[in-house]
Amino acid sequence: MRWLRNILKKSPGGRPMAALTAGIKAPDFELKAMDGKSFVLHEELARAPVVLAFFKAGCPTCQYTFPFLERLSQIYGHKNVTLVGISQNESSKTAAFTKEFGVTFPVLLDKRESYPVSNAYGLTNVPTIFWIAQDGEIEVSTVGWVKADFTEINRRMAEAGRASPASVFEPGEDVRDFRAG
């Protein structure tokens, strides 16, 4: 019943929260990437922490969030952290999304009809982003655009790369504190 309580849980501000919250072990999975390569979570965690960013191509908040995730990818690379998107769309819509929003980091395809990985992670909204430590524990779980959570992921990516956190937001850029998913 813990999983049901987590699904129904709301943050203090009333925003929906991901069903899997910080402190829970991330479910292992295997999905195919857009390039056909296989991604297995436990194998990636053996190398580095993993950031999972679930999305749908038509989601306006996903469209807002993913260019910022791409900036993190460009700043920190993939040496000490693995950043991947997980699309809930078929490959053609996913390819159009990655092209339109300049996403160059790996994107995985959750099976369109049944969404096994999205369901295992208890998604209620997208985007939903998880920081998963190398021991498999979810340390950050965020739904929608939450600037404070994004800043925390930036800090963790910098720390993993033994660097100071980079400035991700450009001067004069309208960066909201929150945008519902």
pLDDT at 88 over 80: yes
The rounded mean pLDDT for the chain is 90
Global pTM? 0.89
Q: What is the pLDDT of residues 119-154, one digit of tens each?
A: 999 998 999 999 999 999 999 999 999 999 999 999
Distance (Å, whole) CA 98 – CA 109:
12
Distance (Å, whole) CA 125 – CA 36:
26
Q: Which residues share a beta bridge with 31?
A: 39
Q: What is the pLDDT of residues 33-64, one digit of tens each?
A: 999 999 999 999 999 999 999 999 999 999 99
Strands, E assignment, the chain: 30-33, 38-40, 50-55, 82-87, 107-109, 128-132, 138-143, 145-146, 178-179
Look at domain 15-161 and name its CATH class.
alpha beta
Domain spans of the chain? 15-161
Between CA 66 and CA 168, with CA 165 as vertex, the angle to 5 degrees is 35
